[in-house]
Amino acid sequence: MIPAFTLTRSIEIHVTRFAGEVAKEEKRPELMPFLLMARDTDGIASASAAGHLLGAHEGRRQIAQRLLEQLKRSGALEAQGNEGFKLTEAGHEALEKEAVFIAERGSWEVWHTSDPLLPHGLIQLTGYTEPKAYDEVKHDAPKRDAKRPPPTLDALKGLPLAPIMGGERRRIDDLPNKVELLESKTGTLTWEVARKRLSLTVDEQTVDRPAPELAHKATFEALLETAGLTFDWDAETEILRRSFADLSDAFRRNMREDVTFPSPVRLHQYGNFEQTTVHGIDINARTLHDAEAWADWRLEDSINEIACSRRFDKWCSEAVAPFVGFTPLDLPSRQDLAARARPAEAGAPLSAVAWNLTAAEDWNL
């Protein structure tokens, strides 16, 4: 089984302030009858709206016209003929959600970025209160950095989007040619692939987002490709083939390895990620030579008590068991292993393994 793993990367989030018009999606039940009339009659005008919805053809015609113009600015209606309006696709959506975009002119602070893991680049969009000129002079405010809107901000204009950090949908309707650029923020994207969970953390605030529809196995195999391990991976058994000499004792013993993939980890169309470690990948021998050396090591590593014939046979079976694809394997006899384990220097103390083997041989157990 492929272990769970996490991919992370830092992203730059631009912070920009501007004076312009932003529309917010709001529940406005009093406007729904106008949209319903536009839908059911294939159009609506101020005179008919005043008569049917406001109760007076002439006296409330101006009120009806203002409301229809507001719905036009929201995108729910569009002009039809000299005085009429018709429902748009956005208007049909507004009826379904019972909410429309209400435009507001003011000063705004927007956080924006571009990243293939995110559905769009609008991170946050909030109102901003401009300081008074007196306060700026009094506190020696720094000169504002007015520049052209960055491409990541230009790309958001006119799009109804729910900010990544949360909140109702918003739409930038009027973006000036000059905006104020502030110091960027750093966000962290964390993708827990097996759990299909994606999160963004900015200023210690974390929000969850839908993760890419990419299978855990396919993502892991893409990781292996970045590290040049594709040819060592057995996709059918989900085992990584490894050279015995390259493994630590812990990995040899557990038949599992922690593999670190250095940065940048390149993953399909989802960009680069930081260094990551996948813990506990199932491993096995790459070649017959590796299997024999590994089984030999496992046998010696198992000897933790007197190696009587029954125990030694059992340890031999357990040592070769993981390497069924390489059988038969040639393991040393108890006598040969005991001779190999004895110290070369005469009179030197025996290791625990050597003593357990030698005692069994001497006593013919």
**Could you list the mean pLDDT of each consecutive 10-residue stretch along the chain, which spans 365 residues?**
94 96 92 91 86 75 88 89 87 92 94 96 93 53 76 95 95 95 96 94 94 88 90 94 95 95 86 94 95 94 88 92 88 86 73 80 76
Report the pLDDT value the prediction gives residue 61, as an integer from 0 to 100. Answer: 84
CA 271 to CA 44: how far, in whole Å?
49
Q: Which residues are within 8 A (CB) of 196 and not within 5 positions of it... i.e. 6 or more apart?
A: 211
Strands of the chain (E only): list them: 6-27, 77-80, 84-87, 99-112, 122-127, 146-147, 170-174, 179-192, 197-202, 205-210, 233-234, 239-242, 256-261, 265-266, 272-273, 276-285
Q: Nearest Cα to 359, choosing from 301, 305, 317, 297?
A: 305
Residue 108's pLDDT is 97
Domain spans in the chain, listed from the N-terminal domain onward? 9-189, 214-286, 299-362
Do residues 117 and 190 lie in contact, with contact meaning Cβ atoms separated by under 8 Å?
Answer: no
Residue 42: the pLDDT is 83
Q: What is the pTM of this model?
A: 0.80
- What pLDDT shows up at residue 141? 53
Q: Which amino acid, 350?
A: L
Give me the pLDDT at residue 137, please: 46
Predicted pLDDT at 1: 85
CB-based contact 176:18 (threshold 8 Å) = yes
